[in-house]
Structure 1
Amino acid sequence: MARYYDSLTLFSPARYSSLPGMPFPDGDSDRYPHRDEVITYITAYAAGLDADARTRSRVTAVRTDGSGFAVDLEGGGRLAAQAVVAASGTFGRPHRPTLPGLEQFTGTVLHSADYRRPEPFAGQRVVVVGAGNSAVQIAAELAAVTRVTLASRHPVKFTPQRILGRDLHFWLKRTGLDTAPLGRLLRTPPTQLVIDDGRYRAAVEAGAPDRRELFPTIEGSKVIWADESAEEVDTILLATGYRPDLPYLAHLGTLDGTGHPLHSDGASSAHPGLAFVGLEWQRSLSSNSLRGVGRDAIRAARRLAAHLSRS
């Protein structure tokens, strides 16, 4: 999380964003923790676990080994395990869509994963591609220092952060829409909503950033808009999300052709000793966030414990 942009804050209040057994430190439970506060919290949480926590130990492959697994580490190390939880989520693999002319664009192409702060973009002409929370927030932040367009296939859809004096997540929890199985109702049809306290809708309506339909193509340093007008652009910033970051599971035959895991509610469809945690829409809309990952982790641990007891 230390690599995310400086102004990042959680969309959910501290009271809904704690992991099992450890609430966020003292403070207003209705506050929205900022990036550095979350880093400190997660670091402290990991330090309090009765576990052999190894950082900077990248897993290169997981293979079956008898009744269990062999876990290969970068540099040649290896671990043996009876069960494996793939909890690397999605945020290690930025999604860079194929857009006509993008490969030949002579300006700078970045992903939101590369963005930190607005100052380096001052005076540039910037186009942010996307219509989700990060796209809108980054575009609005950049608009304070330069001219920015938010380009997307569909209009931005806003939802208020507070409804009848309560945070949105209060209502999601009260109605059950934040958890499985009811939470799956929000996935069909796919809905991408920008959680807004009023600032972002106002910024877009004021044209800072302005919002346009996604450009049909790019020619050299120019973006060609839907009305066929051409405009010189310095930077295209792709706020286009992420995909599962699970290349180390390729040897197990548990990924489909796009790299997505084959699973049911986080349980691998191919190996009963393999589970997933932190996937987008694993069980509900909150599965890849702090407010939901704890529930899914508990469920995965119980399933694996039952599997090991039968082995």
Structure 2
Amino acid sequence: MTLLDAVVIGAGQASLATAHALHRHGLDPLLLEAGSSPTGSWSRYYDSLALFSPARFSELPGSAFPGDPDRYPTRDEVVAYLAAYAERLGAPIELNTPAVAVTRTGDGFVTRAGDGREFTSRLVVSASGGFGAPYRPNLPGLDAFAGTVLHSADYREPAPFAGRRVVVVGAGNSAVQIAVELAQVASVTLSSRGPVRFMAQRPLGRDLHEWLHRTGVERLPLGRLLRGRTVRVLDDGRYRAAIAAGRPDWRPMFTALNADGVVWTDGAREPIDVILLATGYRPQLAHLADCTGPNGRSALDASGYPDHDRGVSTAVPGLGFVGLEGQRGIASATLRGVGRDAVHVVRRLAADVRAVSPVGAW
């Protein structure tokens, strides 16, 4: 069986950035992608999604985002950019090939795919990102609710919800963006444990990401401190104005659900047609459930999250991660952040296997 330099799990933004970094170290990766295209989760997001960062701060290493660098690219533009990046990268990608199990061996790793094939490699980088598994909180009475329950991962556009009573659960960027869009055709309440907190998208006339870049804040090791916390909603003023006008309105998190609807904090009961959970995602790391290091330590902790030091496994030599929320900094799970993290992780992994020195760019 051929011993590969590296197997990269996934073929989205984190995986493509990882493959680029591996190439620069003279290593040839194989990418295993569960989906049908090398665009990660982007092709599955809702139709109106637009980036909250300008194109110039939404690029992968070695390839500028085409068009006006100060615009905010749409979902479809990101999908096209990633597909073109993958083609230019030239790394072999096995589509419709989910990784189901990774085991450590004396020579490196064996990664088993869903179709039964096995791939041996010196290194494995799990770069399926932090958006593979929609998080559905265990809300009181959710199982008894007879209406429609869906996650924002299932939402595409507002037309099917016209005239319906909808509660959107969440207080992040996606929750607010979806709720405001739905409020154009439906009666919508945004409900969360705390009020929506906003942050100006263009303070002092410049995009926030430019300030983060100029000041170096985005490179500070703040990831672990921020992981799991609700991020402020970036706003140019329209979302704050929409909520202030009651389209949608905001209410504290309901106390329970029943068959017909919700019970609000004041005890009032209201019939509801749809509960839309904009409650984020968790990493999809089931393929590492049985991956252990030489001393028997698992790659994952008791909660299913990887034990790692800035993306390098502390339990399993030769195993790395790219694309996790808060992996190294506030941008680790974003288009602008995965490239820096991939360089860091690959440099450390390559040193461990005495790989060749970095070669030139494309």
What TM-score, normalized to structure 1? Answer: 0.96
1:187 Cα deviation (Å)?
Answer: 2.2
Q: Distance in 2 between matches of 1:84 and 1:188?
A: 24
1:130 Cα deviation (Å)?
Answer: 0.3
Paired residue for 1:237, among 269, 273, 276? 276
In structure 2, the partner of 1:48 is 88
1:227 partner amino acid: D
In structure 1, the partner of 2:289 is 250
In structure 2, the partner of 1:122 is 162
Q: Deviations over 1:18-43 (max 9, x none)?
A: 10000111x21000110011001001
Alignment of 1:121-200 (within 5 A): 121-181=161-221, 183-184=222-223, 187=226, 190-200=229-239
Q: Distance in 1 between matches of 2:203 and 2:96?
A: 42
In structure 2, the partner of 1:108 is 148
1:257 Cα deviation (Å)?
Answer: 2.1
Paired residue for 2:332, among 283, 287, 295? 287
In structure 1, the partner of 2:24 is none
Q: Distance in 2 between matches of 1:104 and 1:191?
A: 28
Q: Deviations over 1:46-84 (max 9, x none)?
A: 111142112111101001122300000011111011000
The answer to whether the 8 Å contact 2:227/2:325 transfers is no
The answer to whether the 8 Å contact 2:171/2:230 transfers is no
The answer to whether the 8 Å contact 1:124/1:235 transfers is yes
The answer to whether the 8 Å contact 2:158/2:182 transfers is yes
In structure 1, the partner of 2:69 is 29
Matched, 1:19 2:69: no
Paired residue for 1:72, among 94, 112, 120? 112
Shift in CA distance, 275/136, structure 1 to aligned 2, threshold 3 Å: same
Shift in CA distance, 189/243, structure 1 to aligned 2, threshold 3 Å: closer
In structure 1, the partner of 2:18 is none
* Residue ranges of structure 2 left out of the alignment (5+ in a row): 1-41, 292-297, 356-362
* Residue ranges of structure 1 left out of the alignment (5+ in a row): none
Shift in CA distance, 2/185, structure 1 to aligned 2, threshold 3 Å: closer
Shift in CA distance, 188/77, structure 1 to aligned 2, threshold 3 Å: closer
1:301 Cα deviation (Å)?
Answer: 1.2
In structure 2, the partner of 1:3 is 44
1:66 partner amino acid: G
Overall identity of the aligned pairs, in %: 57
Q: Distance in 2 between matches of 1:202 and 1:37?
A: 27
Matched, 1:268 2:309: no
SS class of match (2:184): coil
Shift in CA distance, 186/64, structure 1 to aligned 2, threshold 3 Å: closer
Q: Deviations over 1:183-213 (max 9, x none)?
A: 4497289452000011100000000000000
Root-mean-square deviation (CA), in Å? 1.4
1:222 partner amino acid: G
In structure 2, the partner of 1:296 is 341
Shift in CA distance, 62/185, structure 1 to aligned 2, threshold 3 Å: closer
Q: Deviations over 1:124-166 (max 9, x none)?
A: 1000000000000000000000100000000000001101110
Q: Distance in 1 between matches of 2:196 and 2:323?
A: 26
Q: Which runs of 4+ in 1 moved over 6 A?
A: none
In structure 2, the partner of 1:208 is 247
SS class of match (2:176): helix
The answer to whether the 8 Å contact 2:227/2:326 transfers is no
The answer to whether the 8 Å contact 1:186/1:285 transfers is no
What TM-score, normalized to structure 2? Answer: 0.83
Q: Distance in 1 between matches of 2:205 and 2:123?
A: 45
The answer to whether the 8 Å contact 1:83/1:273 transfers is yes
1:105 partner amino acid: F
1:233 partner amino acid: I
